[in-house]
Chain A
């Protein structure tokens, strides 16, 4: 289940990487906002879960486009480092904005349904099943969208060669913005799906984005397949790891390993060199 979440987040990140040419550091913060928006909509307007999910995704789609347009696009001509720094600024704004509005306390997120199944001796809540199913559906849908539709082709073209795409008559600015929005919406969906299981808090983006980076680097930047596979592998690994090994130093281990991997093979295992 965790793998599904990671896969979706990693996928969104990969999409954005294609456009931005840097991994979007602020992805985790946007993910967090997605959850909070859904939370807001459910608790104050009493909107049902699924509607809130869609609402949050849509809102974050536009937020993503906004961010791309006003924060990152002016920086394409500057050295890559500056986009990183801008992302840092974005994280500060988003995380502390959430902190200011909702406070640091962990909040409970209402579930979509509370039925519990007993499968093979394990207790599985329906929420988890929903997560997995939705994720798988979305990933497949996204795959078809990119491979079969014209817009999807435009996205692929723009991410591979922006100038070339422009020469082909593709409105790269619009496509770029939409891709960013799409990636962000994916993150929002992932966040809202997992929110009822794990509590939400303003810095929830942190560990998730960290894991997403691990995945992207393992699976390779810019690789759809790598992101999905990596997501599930890491999700599985983490779940198994935390059940059998003390969770105390898990994070250190995982990130430490990541550093080493980066040192040895800087573009990840499946990555394309940009």
Chain B
């Protein structure tokens, strides 16, 4: 019985093996790659991957460019941080609550913005992002304004039998925590896009009027997709605040939305692997280019323009096209 999925560039049996190895590698990574700095990068990459996967849901699969995505990341970060710091909640309670709060914001702001047609949506979200950014940056009492929040604690240790516990003071522990959520995000997202409900989103991306004529409630589907994507953005944000310990308004700035846009676009829009690749390689690239500071973003901007022009489906898209090319090259016509 065939599945509903598009054929990826690896054959099915090879694919399962590949993912198995990949998972094993990811689980064993901290043992292979020791050293605080590389592990720190791995944690950050994990967070960016979650956020990029979230963006890809609304952008790649539903076809709507949400330029306030970074802002929702910020909302999640601040919500979780404030719940822990000001209300004394445990991280394990604050995180899901933070996600819920972000999703609620997403739902409420999605209602007006998704009513816009065509290219007004990015503008609307951009304005939304700016509005919320200024709110966060200036509401000193709540968010600490420009100074931000400090001294956020790591997640509480998880108790284990025999009086032991999993503590999250080390970077390695945080890595596994983030990895867990990365897997969770991938699971949820892949289930969604492969299901019939996911087909509705793809329909909207393809041709909204046509989708309507088929009986698809496009507004409802868009709101669903938007809310879900903000929920996961909030998840990434919450993890960020717990791991980093400090939070500044910059984490809600539209520049962040741009960065994640780059991760998704260069990795491969509309694919599962794209945001993962983008979320891993580009932050790493960014770190490598750190000494060049300003040039890093200039390079990213240039990359973005080039990718859009020559490889609009990113690295994954390019690989896919390449495999099709090689597969057919040998067959006689």
Contacts and interface: CB of A to CB of B under 8 A. Distances in A.
Interface of A: 21-23, 25, 71, 74-75, 78, 80-82, 84-86, 88-97, 99-100, 210, 213-214, 217, 248-249, 251-256, 258-260, 262-263, 266-267
Interface string B123-142: 11011101110110010000
Contacts of A89: 262, 300-305, 308
Contacts of A78: 308, 312
B131 A255 contact: yes
A262 B302 contact: no
Given A75-B309, A210-B126, A259-B124, 15 more contacts: A25-B122, A78-B312, A85-B308, A88-B261, A88-B301, A92-B300, A96-B294, A100-B293, A251-B134, A254-B131, A258-B127, A262-B112, A262-B113, A266-B116, A266-B117
Nearest to A263: B112
A252 B131 contact: yes
A259 B302 CA distance: 30
Contacts of A25: 122, 126
Given A93-B302, A252-B135, A84 B119 contact: yes
A100 B295 CA distance: 7
B115 A263 contact: yes
Contact of B131 (A84, A100, A256): A256
28 contacts: A23-B123, A25-B126, A80-B118, A81-B63, A85-B65, A85-B308, A88-B258, A88-B301, A89-B302, A89-B305, A89-B308, A91-B258, A91-B301, A92-B301, A93-B302, A94-B301, A95-B297, A97-B298, A100-B293, A100-B294, A213-B127, A214-B127, A251-B131, A252-B134, A256-B131, A258-B127, A260-B112, A262-B112
A88 B265 CA distance: 12
A21 B119 CA distance: 9
Contacts of B301: 88-94, 96
A156 B119 CA distance: 21
Nearest to A94: B301
Contacts, number: 134
A96 B297 contact: yes
A262 B130 contact: no
Nearest to B130: A255
A255 B119 contact: no
> For chain A, what secondary structure do more than half of its interface residues adopt (helix, strand, loop), or is it mixed?
helix
Contacts of B92: none
Q: Which of A80, A210, A213, A259 has the most CB atoms of chain B within a 10 A radius of its CB? A: A259
B304 A85 contact: yes
The 10 closest A-B pairs by CB, nearest first: A92-B301, A89-B304, A263-B112, A100-B294, A255-B131, A93-B301, A89-B305, A96-B297, A255-B127, A251-B134
A95 B304 CA distance: 15
Contact of A210 (B130, B296, B308): B130
A100 B265 CA distance: 25
B311 to A, nearest CB: 12
Contacts of A88: 258, 261, 301, 304
> For chain B, what secondary structure do more than half of its interface residues adopt (helix, strand, loop), or is it mixed?
helix
A96 B255 CA distance: 12
B183 interface: no
Interface residues of B, number: 43
Contacts of A251: 130-131, 134
A82 B298 CA distance: 19
B298 A90 contact: no
Contacts of A253: 131
Contacts of B303: 89
Contact of A249 (B109, B124, B138): B138
A94 B113 CA distance: 28
A253 B130 CA distance: 10
Interface string B59-92: 0000101000000000000000000000000000
Given A96-B294, A249-B134, A262-B112, A210 B302 contact: no
Contacts of B118: 80
Contacts of B128: 255-256, 259
Interface in B275-322: 293-298, 300-305, 308-309, 312
Interface string B212-245: 0000000000000000000000000000000000
B180 interface: no
A78 to B, nearest CB: 6
A46 B298 CA distance: 29
B123 A75 contact: no
A74 B298 contact: no
B328 to A, nearest CB: 25
A32 to B, nearest CB: 14
A179 B34 CA distance: 56
Contacts of B65: 81, 84-85
A259 B134 contact: no
A85 B120 contact: no
Contact of B265 (A85, A95, A260): A85
Contacts of B138: 248-249, 252
A199 to B, nearest CB: 19
A92 B258 contact: yes
A86 B294 contact: no
A93 B258 CA distance: 12
A143 to B, nearest CB: 26
Contacts of A248: 138
Contacts of B113: 259, 262-263
Given A85-B65, A91-B301, A251-B131, A74 B123 contact: no
